[in-house]
């Protein structure tokens, strides 16, 4: 049988061992309001064919990004992924489902991770990178915990330009610790003084680059101020393509760089799986979460690859582990590495330049529309506009016309009275006719 259910006695024995009376007791920490009072209204069983037909009909209700003018970003971006990537990631020489604990049978997987780490370290301007994390937001939470271990301090200052969901993940991972997480109010015009908030209790300052609203800032002075107070600067990059055009976080003095690698090699996929990047200075390598692949020489003098560092609870005592992360995003990191290898440095920079040029082109067109204001002095491929009407209403109206105009700030920051702000993203996939459709649609809606 493909599925062997537990018997009633099996369940009773397991509940007895863990010391609870019933399965419901396992959910005691969940708010009762979100628990179902009765089973979901679905058939008890169905044939594979009927399930496939039903799910296909549901999928047809989605608006597919590649079929309409698409300007949605805010942490997840639509880029062209070459067909070569999907072909190569399926080859067993590079990746298998087996965890690479035995290097003698995992050289392809280990080398792919080693090359991935090298690429991430190079584009972020850092000394060393790990073998990946689950996604950028959980990587941000890990960076805050890592800064606490390094500095032995408990105060983390989060910029108002940090993505709201990244901020929420930091709050979640510090829920049961005594960390003092200082969350700055959203900064749509990038007017916040983070240096003044650094004191002798600060473990780190977390900023985003470019930030949630699309602003590009030089954090060199902030890095120096943090260093003077023996705090760390954590730089979050949600659009990794941007580092092909702007200075690396390492060049500005960042201590830890966290990134979302989805833009390279990985489609939007309706929200996942994605790819967390984390890079740091060499002196902090032993406090880095996850695992690290290294290059070595075998007994016969041949080049080989091994898991050099794996300070996680699977391998050592739980209280000694730096993180409870149990794996890395191997398939997504392989896709990232192959895509970046296909581009090379020249192609990576050209892709970034094209993204920026297309974004500037659209911004210049939208700024001519009466009532539209661009908030950014400098941006990469994403910017924020102020509208004379609630942005969510405008987006919904245009969506009914099959134009996905962007992300209303109110969707992610509903209590901040920013209903008139819209974050617009432009990648190389946006064509001239897409820009014309958005321009015409906005003029009609705002008239």
Share of the chain above pLDDT 70, in %: 97
Cβ–Cβ contacts within 10 Å for residue 200, how many?
9
Q: What is the CATH number of the domain that holds 422?
A: 3.90.1150.10
Lowest mean pLDDT: which of 36-45, 57-66, 276-285, 372-381?
36-45
Lowest mean pLDDT: which of 18-22, 175-179, 342-346, 392-396?
175-179
Q: Is the pLDDT of residue 198 over 90?
A: yes
The pLDDT of residue 1: 43
Lowest mean pLDDT: which of 283-297, 340-354, 360-374?
283-297
Q: Is the pLDDT of residue 387 over 60?
A: yes
pLDDT band at residue 326 using 50, 70 and 90 as cut-offs: low
Looking at the fold, whether 185 and 105 belong to one and the same domain comes out as: yes
Lowest mean pLDDT: which of 25-39, 221-235, 250-264, 403-417?
25-39
Q: Is residue 95 part of a domain?
A: yes
The pLDDT of residue 96: 75
Lowest mean pLDDT: which of 100-114, 165-179, 309-323?
309-323
The residue that leads in pLDDT, 90 or 318, is 90
Q: Is residue 271 part of a domain?
A: yes
Looking at the fold, whether 325 and 256 belong to one and the same domain comes out as: yes
The pLDDT of residue 3: 61
Contact 304, 168 (CB under 8 A): no
How much is the mean pLDDT over the chain?
A: 93
Q: Is the pLDDT of residue 311 over 70?
A: no
Q: Is the pLDDT of residue 2 over 60?
A: no
Helix or strand or coil: residue 395?
A: helix
CA distance 18 to 8: 16
β-pair type (292-297, 303-309): antiparallel
Contact 382, 374 (CB under 8 A): no
**Exposed e or buried b per residue across 105-115, where buried means at least 16 C-beta atoms within 10 angstroms of its C-beta:** ebebbbbbbbb
Count of domains for the chain: 2
Helix or strand or coil: residue 207?
A: strand
Q: Is the pLDDT of residue 314 over 60?
A: no
Q: Is residue 378 part of a domain?
A: yes
Looking at the fold, whether 223 and 331 belong to one and the same domain comes out as: yes
Q: Is residue 51 part of a domain?
A: no
Q: Is the pLDDT of residue 325 over 90?
A: no
Domain that holds residue 375: 67-81+344-446
Looking at the fold, whether 289 and 152 belong to one and the same domain comes out as: yes
Looking at the fold, whether 226 and 286 belong to one and the same domain comes out as: yes
pLDDT band at residue 316 using 50, 70 and 90 as cut-offs: low
Taking residues 192-218, what's their average pLDDT?
A: 98
Looking at the fold, whether 197 and 334 belong to one and the same domain comes out as: yes
- pLDDT tens per residue, range 352-377: 999 999 999 999 999 999 999 999 99
Query: Among candidates 165, 71, 136, which has minimal Cα distance to 358?
Result: 71
Looking at the fold, whether 112 and 147 belong to one and the same domain comes out as: yes
Taking residues 263-286, what's their average pLDDT?
A: 95
Q: What is the CATH number of the domain that holds 105?
A: 3.40.640.10
The pLDDT of residue 315: 61
CA distance 93 to 107: 8
């Amino acid at each position: 049988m493909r599925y062997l259910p537990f018997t009633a006695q099996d369940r009773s024995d397991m509940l007895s061992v863990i010391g609870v009376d019933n399965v419901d007791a396992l959910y005691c920490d969940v708010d009762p309001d979100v628990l179902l009072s009765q089973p979901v209204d679905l058939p008890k069983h169905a044939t594979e064919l009927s399930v496939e037909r039903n799910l296909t009909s549901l999928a047809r209700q989605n608006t597919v990004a590649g079929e309409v003018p698409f300007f949605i970003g805010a942490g997840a971006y639509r880029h062209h992924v070459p067909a070569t990537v999907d072909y190569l990631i399926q080859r067993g020489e590079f990746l298998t489902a087996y965890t690479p604990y035995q290097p003698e049978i995992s050289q392809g997987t280990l080398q792919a991770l080693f090359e991935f780490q090298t690429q991430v370290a190079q584009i972020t301007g850092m000394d060393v990178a790990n073998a990946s994390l689950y996604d950028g937001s959980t990587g941000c939470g890990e960076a805050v915990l890592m800064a606490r271990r390094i500095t032995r301090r408990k105060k983390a200052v989060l910029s108002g330009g940090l993505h709201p969901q990244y901020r929420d993940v930091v709050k979640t991972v510090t829920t049961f610790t005594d960390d003092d997480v200082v969350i700055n109010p959203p900064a749509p015009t990038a007017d916040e003084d983070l240096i003044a908030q650094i004191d002798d209790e600060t473990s780190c300052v977390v900023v985003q680059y470019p930030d949630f609203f699309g602003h590009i800032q030089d954090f060199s002075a902030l890095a120096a101020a943090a260093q003077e107070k023996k705090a760390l600067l954590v730089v979050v990059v949600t659009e990794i393509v941007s580092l092909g055009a702007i200075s690396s976080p390492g060049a500005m003095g960042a201590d830890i760089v966290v990134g979302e690698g989805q833009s390279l090699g990985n489609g939007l996929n309706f929200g996942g799986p994605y790819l967390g990047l984390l890079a740091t200075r060499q002196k902090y390598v032993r406090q880095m979460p996850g695992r690290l692949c290294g290059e070595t020489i075998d007994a016969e003098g041949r080049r080989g690859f091994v898991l050099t560092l794996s300070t996680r609870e699977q391998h050592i005592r739980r209280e000694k582990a730096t993180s409870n992360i149990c794996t890395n995003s191997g398939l997504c990191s392989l896709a990232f590495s192959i895509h970046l290898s296909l581009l090379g440095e020249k192609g990576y920079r050209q892709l970034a330049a094209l993204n920026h040029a297309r974004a500037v082109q659209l911004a210049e067109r939208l700024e001519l529309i009466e009532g539209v204001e661009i908030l950014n002095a400098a941006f990469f491929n994403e910017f924020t506009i102020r509208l004379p009407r609630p942005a969510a209403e405008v987006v919904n109206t245009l969506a009914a016309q099959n134009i996905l105009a962007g992300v209303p700030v109110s969707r992610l920051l509903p209590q901040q009275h920013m209903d008139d702000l819209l974050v617009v993203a432009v990648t190389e996939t946006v064509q001239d006719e897409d820009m014309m459709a958005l321009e015409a649609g906005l003029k009609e809606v705002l008239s």
